[in-house]
Amino acid sequence: MKKASILTSAAIMIFLTYSCSNSSKEFRSISPEVLKDKIAGGWAGKMIGVTYGAPTEFRALSRIYDDSINWKPSDISGSMWQDDIYVQLTFLMSMDKYGMDAPSKKYQEMFAKAGYQLWHANMQARKNYYDSIFAPLSGSPEYNLHADDIDFQIEADYIGFMCPGMPRTATEIADKIGRIMNYGDGVYGGIFVAALYSEAYFTSDIPAIIEKALKSIPAESDYNKIVRDVIRLHAQYPSDWRASWQELENKWGDVDICGAGTAFNIDAKLNGAYIVMGLLYGEGDPVKTLDITTRCGQDSDCNPSNALAVLGVIKGFSGLPGYMQDGVTAIGDSLFINTTYSFNTAVSATDKYARELIAKDGGEVSDNSIKIKLQEPVAPPNEISFPDVVFDRRMEIFDNNGWKFKGNWKAFEKISWPEKKTYKQSMYAENAGDELEISFNGTGISINGNWVKDGGKADVFVDGKLHRSIDTYYDFANQEHTASIWHVLNLQPGDHIIRIVASGEKRPESAGTRVYIESAIIFKTEKKKNESYKFSFEK
C-alpha cells in the first residue's frame, strides 16, 4: 500500500510535467473583472448552497427528502460556521503560510492542529497525523477506512476556483491535498468538482462541463461510472429526476464502506452523483438546482453547496439572483470561524493565487487582460480503495457469540440522550496483558471502539501474527468519538482470529491506559451489485 501510493503520486507528477511542457500554445482570454466576479460567484454559491441544505443534512437516508425547505437569504449568515468552508480555508491559510509548493505534510499539520472538530476521513487524517502517519498514507485504505468518503470532495472548491480553464493544474494540486484524507474515488471526487469549476469559467453548457470534467478522472473508476449513469438516466428520464434518483439508488445505494449495513451513505461517489443530477435537471436555474440536489438526500448540505458553486462560476456573482447577492454582501466582511478569512478576503486571495498559477503555466497576466494557456485534462491512474469489499454483518461486544475475554475487562456505561437512561456502551481494559479475542469468518474486519482522552495502547494480532500497535487516545479540539480503531482487509476467505492485547501504556498527554471495544464489522469479498446491475430500461 505504501509503495503503491507513493509511486502513483510520482507517476501523476511526471505525466503532468511532461504534458505541460508539450501543451498547445493556444490561449483563452478573460478580463480581470470577469475572473474575480466568477471567483466570487463560486464562493457565494458554496455559502448559499450549504445553508440551503443544512437543515436537511442526513435527514433523508436512501430516500428523497419531501419535507418543506424554508430558506431565506438571511440564512446565509450560517455559512460562517460551516465546515464545508472553514476546513478548506485552512488549506488556503496553509498556502499563505508555507507557499503553494509546500509538501503535503505541512498542509496536514495545519489541518490537524486546527482548533475545530472533524469527522470521518478528516478525523482519521488528524488522528493519523498524531500517530505519525503522514500523507499519502494518512488517506490510504490501509490506515483510513473512510478513504472513499466525501471529505475532500467538499474541500476542493478553492482549488477549482483558482484554476480557471486549467484542469491539469487543478489535478496536480488536488492530488497532493486530497491524499491527506482520501484515496481512489475519495480523491477523484475532489478532482472532479475542481474540474467542474475549472471548465465552468469558459462555457455555460452544463452537459459539456460535466463531460469535460469527467476527463480529469479515470474512465474505469466507479466515480466516473456513476456520473455516466446519471447522464444516461437524464437522457432516459429528461423531465423526471425522481425516476432517475430511484434507478440510481437501486444500483448504487449500498456502495458505502463507512456506512456499511445502514442506510447512511457518505461515499463521495453517490453524493457526487447527486451534484450532477441537480446540475442536469436544474438546467441552470439556481433555485431549481438547489432544490433537486438537496432533495436527493444523504449529505444534503454539501451537495447543493457544490452544485450552486458551479452555477456561481458560470454566472459570476453578478449573475446570481439579487436577493442571493444581497445575502452574501451583508456578511461579506464577517470572518468564517476558525479562519482569518471573510468572503471578501477569500475572493481576493483566490484571485491572487489564480493569477500566479496562470502566469506560472505560461499565461499572460496584466491589470487589463489575462490570457490563460489552454490545458487539456489528464486523468490520474485508477486506484480502487476497497476492491470487492462487501459488508457481511455487525457483531456487538455484548453478543455472546464470537468474543472471548482474558483479564480484567469491565463494562463502560453511558447515559443516553434525551432519555437519560444508563446503558452499557462498550467493554474496556487498562492493564498490560488484558486480552480480547474475536473469531469470525470473512475476509476483513473493523474493530469499533472509543477514541477518548484516557485512551491507551494495544497490540493487535491477526491469526497469531502481530499486525499493528494502536493508540486509542483522542482529545483534539475537545472531541471524543466512537470510531474504527483498527481494521484489516483483503484476508484469505475463511476463519480468522483477532487478538487485541492491552499494553498498559499510553502517550504522555493521555489520562489513562484504557482500550474500549464497542463492536466489530465483518466484511466478505464478492462482486458488488452495481457491477452487474441493469437499469429497468435495459432489461
Last residue of a domain, one of 323, 347, 373: 373
**Cα distance between residue 306 and residue 296, in whole Å:** 14
Which residues 6+ apart lie within 8 Å of 28 measured at CB? Answer: 165, 202, 371, 372, 374
Residues 166, 245 within the same domain: yes
**Cα distance between residue 397 and residue 490, in whole Å:** 23
**Per the domain annotation, does 73 fall within a domain?**
no
Residues 308, 407 within the same domain: no
User: Are the CB atoms for 336 and 85 separated by under 8 Å?
Assistant: yes
What letter does residue 381 receive in the DSSP assignment?
P
pLDDT at 402 (0 to 100) = 87
Q: Which three cell numbers stand for residue 495?
A: 476463519
| Residue 525: C-alpha distances to residues 252, 386, 518 (Å) | 17, 10, 24
pLDDT at 186 (0 to 100) = 98
What letter does residue 177 receive in the DSSP assignment?
H
**Per the domain annotation, does 358 fall within a domain?**
yes
Domain, as residue range, for 398:
389-530
**Running along the chain, 539 residues long, what does each successive block of 10 average in pLDDT?**
38 41 71 98 98 98 98 98 98 97 97 96 98 98 98 98 98 98 98 98 98 98 98 98 98 94 97 98 98 98 98 98 98 98 98 98 96 97 97 94 95 92 97 98 98 98 98 96 97 98 98 98 94 94
**Per the domain annotation, does 69 fall within a domain?**
no
Q: What is the DSSP pairing of strand 389-396 with strand 370-373? A: unpaired
Residues 347, 464 within the same domain: no
Residues 315, 453 within the same domain: no
Assign residue 213 the CATH number of its domain.
Answer: 1.10.4080.10
**Per the domain annotation, does 70 fall within a domain?**
no
pLDDT at 25 (0 to 100) = 63
Residues 429, 348 within the same domain: no
pLDDT tens digits, one per residue of 427-456 = 999 999 999 999 999 999 999 999 999 999
Q: Which three cell numbers stand for residue 380?
A: 490520474
Output the DSSP codes for 243-258: HHHHHHHHHHTT--ST
Angle (nearest 5°) at CA 42 between 232 and 252 = 30
Rg, the chain, Cα only: 23
Last residue of a domain, one of 373, 404, 421: 373
> Minimal CA–CA distance to 269: which of 282, 258, 280?
258
**Per the domain annotation, does 192 fall within a domain?**
yes
Class of residue 347 by CB neighbours under 10 A (exposed 0-12, middle 13-18, buried 19+):
buried
**Per the domain annotation, does 366 fall within a domain?**
yes
Residues 322, 424 within the same domain: no
Residues 438, 355 within the same domain: no
**Per the domain annotation, does 121 fall within a domain?**
yes
Assign residue 473 the CATH number of its domain.
Answer: 2.60.120.260
> Minimal CA–CA distance to 268: which of 174, 339, 366, 344?
174
Residues 269, 364 within the same domain: yes
What letter does residue 63 receive in the DSSP assignment?
S
The pTM score is 0.94
Residues 181, 309 within the same domain: yes
Strand partners, 520: 395, 447
Helix (H) or strand (E) holding 266: none
Last residue of a domain, one of 373, 399, 420: 373
Residues 172, 47 within the same domain: yes
Residues 250, 286 within the same domain: yes
**Per the domain annotation, does 67 fall within a domain?**
no
What letter does residue 459 receive in the DSSP assignment?
E
Looking at this protein, which amino acid is placed at residue 500? I
Number of structural domains in the chain: 2
User: Are the CB atoms for 120 and 258 separated by under 8 Å?
Assistant: yes
Residues 308, 272 within the same domain: yes
